[in-house]
Amino acid sequence: MQKNHYELSPKLIAGISLCLAIIPAIVLGVLIFKYSVNVPIQDQWQISDIFEKFYQRTLSFSDLMAQHNESRKFFPRLIFLALAFITKWNIRYEMLVTFLLACIVSINIYLLNKLTIGGSHIKGLIIAFISNIFIFSAVQYENWLWGIQIVVFIPIVCITSCILIAYSRLKNRTKVFICMVLSTISTFSYANGLLAWVIVLPVLALVQLKFWSDIRKNIILYVLFWIIGFIANVAFYFHDYKKPLSHPNPLESIQYPYRIFQYFLAFLGGSLGVNSSIQAINNAIIFGLLILIIFIGFCYYIIWHIKDYELRYKTISWIMLGLYTVISALVTSFGRVTFGVEQALSSRYTTFSTYIIISIIHLMIIVGEDAIKKYSFLINRNLFSKIICWFIGIITVIQVHNFTYSIDKMRLWNQNVLKYKGCLLLIDFTHDNCKNLIDPYYFEYIKKQAHYLTEVGFLEPGLIATNRITDLIDMSNSRQVEGTFEKLEFIGDNNFLATGWAIFTDTNLPVDAIILSYDNLQGEPIVSAVADMTMTRSNLVKELKSQKYLRSGWQKILYTHRFPQGNINVKAWALDTNTTKFYQIPGVYIVNKNGQNISILLGN
């Protein structure tokens, strides 16, 4: 028979499958590169303390172990410190480490898949592709674009590594020692890292337990030493522990059992139920309930056949991985429900909730194949295959649907952080809403730290040292701005509302920040305020026939009490936050201030 020249070789199919498996990681890497911003925000400012103490040679073990909210971030602080001195604290490298940690998790999941499911190389890569859709999901955008969230990924890296070690051929004592070290790293990286001690022990104890009579031989090794290590970690962790003042008391949540259950389900379904729909919370609760029922069903089947060593060997890792999500959801529900059930949909939590779905995908295949062997007279293999295909297809479609929503959230995050960076760079000269945007409570502290970081070269670019815009205009016109200062209108109390739109033509994205200026007595434009960005301009999209103008709008209320007397030019400028260069936006308004009276004389 003549060979079909169009038949694909196994190596080619394997290559295609490998490319398919890593596509989610590649896509996410591009998104992180595109939407990440090199600027410390929120909790990252507290990290800067260790840089200062390191320079002053006063950094101590206590400083590295100090409580940060509910966590003790000892090991992440070492990473932050090393990265800061290598990269001059370029926050984007922290995001790179986060991405690399996710890659380690992906590899661990793939290797566990090969150990527990087996089959062809292509089958493993297809399952890896489905898993990677969730591991590298853009739904977790806050964790991808916020450097400090390295802490969220360290525990799951440690847990999956420990599970993989449990399946290895290392000596039992070596396994326990390595896993205790990894569990300690997990504990002192993030609050839920303590779960490593709970999740890993059953895998270590049961994965190679062929006969129940053998459990006595390993009881001291697997349980006694592990419990001693766990107690030591807990004692050290909670020594001098103080509940963060801004966090609610978990005991108060007991008053709301129904809301706790809602929060719990929404947490479980968060990675599937997050979308632009106003019913997002209801969707998440429904998905969470379905996920919980399916997971419990698989656990019940496995417990019913607990004496089956092969089934126990293949499933214990995935059960414990799913329980990592379940226990995280329970703890978070009790600790956060008073913030509102909607808070369960936080993008940060989807990094935890995603692993129960990965667990279910693998359990469905293992349990399904086992059930076909045991109950072949009841279960048809073709029907089973269709059920798996439908299930995986549905959750994949839902995740892809959420992808477009998440991309929009990443764009919005990027614009908000760029505006924040504009405010930070001008922290010595901006007023009103910039203080609220940066942090009204810690504003002075952040201002002090920003000056110190500029001095040591850890803030790139450093703070702008003058409010005279003429000193910072890009005379080479290396970037072009498209837009206009459309209106300056009186709104009462001698205040004006400025509106307009602007994009950088080289990126076709909204400008980083809009700065409004007024003339000083020498006629030089002086920084007045940073405008509110991301105003939707659907009229421009329709008029100019391009979606790039959708979020190009800006507006700002100008408080004129700082304006000098006489005729003043009011202008708008685009700020490039990477170079601290200004670009004027077309449109000038002449405002006259005579005593307490103020009026617009001329516009554009």
CATH label of the domain that carries residue 555: 2.60.40
In a domain, 47, yes or no: no
What single-letter amino acid sits at 596? Q
pLDDT of residue 274: 67
DSSP 1-52: ----TTPPPHHHHHHHHHHHHHHHHHHHHHHHHHH------TTHHHHHHHHH
In a domain, 61, yes or no: no
In a domain, 406, yes or no: yes
Q: Which of 399, 415, 431 is the last residue of a domain?
A: 415
State whether 221 and 363 are in the same domain.
Answer: yes
Band the pLDDT of 183: cuts 50, 70, 90: very high
State whether 359 and 288 are in the same domain.
Answer: yes
Q: Which of 348, 380, 415 is the last residue of a domain?
A: 415
Domain count, the chain: 2
In a domain, 156, yes or no: yes
| CA 293-298-303 angle, 5° bins | 120
CA distances from 273 to 66, 77, 268, 286, 389 (A): 36, 33, 9, 8, 20
d(CA 510, CA 471): 24
Residue 3 confidence (pLDDT) above 60: no
Q: Which of 352, 384, 415 is the last residue of a domain?
A: 415
In a domain, 435, yes or no: no
In a domain, 232, yes or no: yes
Average confidence score pLDDT of the chain: 85
Band the pLDDT of 245: cuts 50, 70, 90: low
pLDDT of residue 1: 43
State whether 366 and 509 are in the same domain.
Answer: no
State whether 393 and 480 are in the same domain.
Answer: no
State whether 382 and 483 are in the same domain.
Answer: no
pLDDT of residue 10: 64
State whether 410 and 281 are in the same domain.
Answer: yes
Residue 95 confidence (pLDDT) above 90: yes
State whether 390 and 475 are in the same domain.
Answer: no
**pLDDT higher for 268 or 223?**
268
State whether 168 and 285 are in the same domain.
Answer: yes
Query: Are 291 and 360 contacting, i.e. CB atoms less than 8 angstroms apart?
Result: yes
Residue 573 confidence (pLDDT) above 60: yes
For residue 139, give its domain range. Answer: 10-38+90-240+260-415
pLDDT of residue 11: 66
In a domain, 58, yes or no: no
pLDDT of residue 135: 93
State whether 201 and 345 are in the same domain.
Answer: yes
d(CA 45, CA 86): 18
State whether 522 and 598 are in the same domain.
Answer: yes
State whether 400 and 513 are in the same domain.
Answer: no
State whether 193 and 314 are in the same domain.
Answer: yes
In a domain, 53, yes or no: no
d(CA 503, CA 357): 40
